[in-house]
Amino acid sequence: MRIVIQRVTQASVEIDNQIKGQIGNGLLLLAGFTPDDTEEDLKWMAGKVAQLRIFNDDQGKMNLSVLDVQGDVLLISQFTLYANTKKGNRPSYINAAPPAIAIPLYERFIGLIQDALGKQIQTGEFGADMKVSLLNDGPVTIVMDTKNKDLF
């Protein structure tokens, strides 16, 4: 599982000219899955996202988590996080999980994030053509991958 975490002051996702999900202060998560992602990977990532201290405290130091600031989360599925650009100019997505595998992983991850935060989150729609808008705060953008847990 690979995820891009963006600290935002606002974010939204639009599908067919309708707002599907919208948040204020919190995290925009772009998540991609592989066929070999496990329940352990999903749980690890949900815990890291909920506890990641990337919000400013009273002294302006990144010392607070999304839980601490009672922020919201907008989660978007994004298979293109597994783009392979090694050959030629057209990316291959062979490493991304196909929908039959990715959809259950995405849905399970939604539940795990909600459990970790103790509240509902906003989402996009798996496989839809989505327009994502955000105001990145900082900017703060972090990329994490469950295949490289030792780096995080």
Residue of 6, 33, 55, 79 marked active site: 79
Report the alpha-carbon distance of residue 30 to residue 3 in Å, rounded. 6
Catalytic member of 38, 51, 70, 80: 80
d(CA 74, CA 96): 21
Alpha helices in the chain (DSSP H): 39-51, 99-117
Residue of 34, 78, 122, 123 marked active site: 78
Catalytic residue status for 78: yes
Q: How far is CA 89 from the centre of its chain?
A: 26
Active site residue 18: no
CB atoms within 10 A of CB 111: 12
Residues annotated as catalytic (active site), given as ranges: 78-80
